Amino acid sequence: MKQARIEWQGQVRDVLVNERDQVRLDDGTVLKEGEFRWLPPADGTLFALGLNYADHASELEFKPPTEPLVFIKAPNTFTGHQQQSVRPDNVEYMHYEAELVVVIGKTARRVSEAEAMDYVAGYTVCNDYAIRDYLENYYRPNLRVKSRDTLTPI
């Protein structure tokens, strides 16, 4: 079973998707594609790691960081399955990368490594768009580069 979030009849619903890709409500109702709108799996802030593999750092001629390079993507950036991302006006170079997303399912603070997986609700993928027109320093990506409306399909 897969978990998902949808908007159906004006309400946000958590649903299950079975092995036949049928979307089921908690009362057993099966919805047909087109009767609902897919939403991102969560609506909070996304914490992302930049330059998280050596090839990417070398492509940009940067030295890989010795500590995690963390940046955020706000909820306004998220779009769900089969929704459109919109290129901002006057932007020439939109770069995208496929990323693994770990969905945290409950509030966490000072979690030990041994307990960490208890907080993971699931995994999904996203496209991480960057507006390279405005990239000044990859070690401090600014909001114009990484946190634009609709530019995180997830």
Let me know if domain 2-39 sits in CATH 2.30.30: yes
Domains 2-39 and 46-153 share a fold: no
Per-domain boundaries in the chain: 2-39, 46-153
SS3 label, residue 133:
helix
Is the predicted pLDDT of residue 117 greater than 90, yes or no? yes
Q: What average pLDDT does the segment 69-86 reach?
A: 89
pLDDT tens track for 6-63: 999 999 999 999 888 899 998 989 999 899 999 998 888 888 887 766 666 666 666 6
Report d(CA 18, CA 147) in Å as an integer.
Answer: 33
Contacts of 53 (CB under 8 A, 6+ apart): none
pLDDT recorded at residue 143: 73
What is the chain's Cα-based Rg? 18
CATH of domain 46-153: 3.90.850.10
Whole-model pTM: value is 0.77
Report d(CA 58, CA 154) in Å as an integer.
Answer: 26
Mean pLDDT (the chain) is 86
Residue 70 tokens, joined: 């963390």
